[in-house]
Amino acid sequence: MDSRTYNPRTVEEVFRDFKGRRAGLIKALTTDVEDFYNQCDPEKENLCLYGFPSEQWEVNLPAEEVPPELPEPVLGINFARDGMQEKDWLSLVAVHSDAWLLAIAFYFGARFGFDKADRKRLFNMINELPTIFEVVTGAAKKQVKEKSSVSNHSGSKSKSSSKAQRASESQARQPKPLQSKEEDEELDDQDDDEHGETLCGACGEHYGTDEFWICCDICEKWFHGKCVKITPARAEHIKQYKCPSCSNKRARP
């Protein structure tokens, strides 16, 4: 079925469309990754990764019409392929694929007049699924969780474990299938105790469990990611984070 002529009109239909496209994109970035990698030749023109409701994927040029019938994926994923490590490149494509999926879903919502309740219901259904980024970086996220667990049990706040925790905090807080409700609440309480009184070094507001949070490795102040323009995906690749204030300080002789 051609995705450019398929117009789901209800919340349930848009969600099925979302799941189909998501499955196709995940397939490209995991089980079909070798084929996907080979198709993204940097010598070719701007290429995009498309996911279809039929759970298939395709690497192709963007639509020629302006504006296009549907929102288009990010352009030029092939140009960065050989300039990054493969896992980092795949993670970057995954993040942009997540953004495209949301754009498609809410495009349908706007086009067919979803009200506030319908939009909220659609987002809640989408939010129950792991993001493509979370699926593609699953192995790394598991290691981050293990580091965070060791840090909590030891009671220490080492920079490495803190960094691992803050890089995954906004993504890895989904309930674990084997955890009891009591264990879940205990972990939440520990997290609240650790950060409840912490203030953002930029805006002065309190820590929120639903917000991405990052610590400066120099002054050890905590910041909302949005305040210092650091995303969870970018934080994964930062070895030593310096806040804007520490970055602007001149090195002493």
Q: Do 49 and 76 meet the contact criterion of CB atoms below 8 Å apart? A: no
User: How far apart, in whole angstroms, are the C-alpha atoms of residue 226 and residue 214?
Assistant: 10
Q: Do 217 and 191 meet the contact criterion of CB atoms below 8 Å apart? A: no
Q: What is the pLDDT of residue 172?
A: 43
Q: What is the pLDDT of residue 195?
A: 54
- Can you count the helices (H) and strands (E) in the chain? 10, 4
pLDDT tens series, the chain, 253 aa: 344 445 678 999 999 999 999 999 999 999 999 999 999 999 999 999 999 999 999 999 998 888 888 999 999 999 999 989 999 999 999 999 999 999 999 999 999 999 999 999 999 999 999 999 999 998 545 545 555 555 455 444 444 444 444 444 444 444 444 445 555 555 555 555 555 567 888 887 877 777 788 888 888 888 888 888 888 888 888 888 888 888 776 544 4
Q: What is the pLDDT of residue 223?
A: 86
Q: What is the pLDDT of residue 45?
A: 93
How far CA 16 is from CA of 105, 125, 193, in Å, comes to 10, 10, 40
Strand partners, 199: 206
> What tokens were used for 10?
């209800």
Alpha helices in the chain (DSSP H): 11-29, 33-39, 86-111, 116-127, 132-136, 138-154, 159-168, 181-195, 232-235, 244-248
Length of the chain: 253
Strand partners, 213: 224
> What tokens were used for 71?
């929102």
User: Which domains occur in the chain, in start order?
Assistant: 9-144 (no CATH), 198-252 (3.30.40.10)
Q: What is the pLDDT of residue 174?
A: 44
Q: What is the pLDDT of residue 141?
A: 56
Alpha-carbon torsion, ordered 137, 140, 142, 148, to 10 deg: -130
Task: Please state the φ and ψ torsions of residue 152, each to the nearest 5 degrees.
Answer: -65, -40
Strand partners, 215: 222
User: How far apart, in whole angstroms, are the C-alpha atoms of residue 138 and residue 123?
Assistant: 22
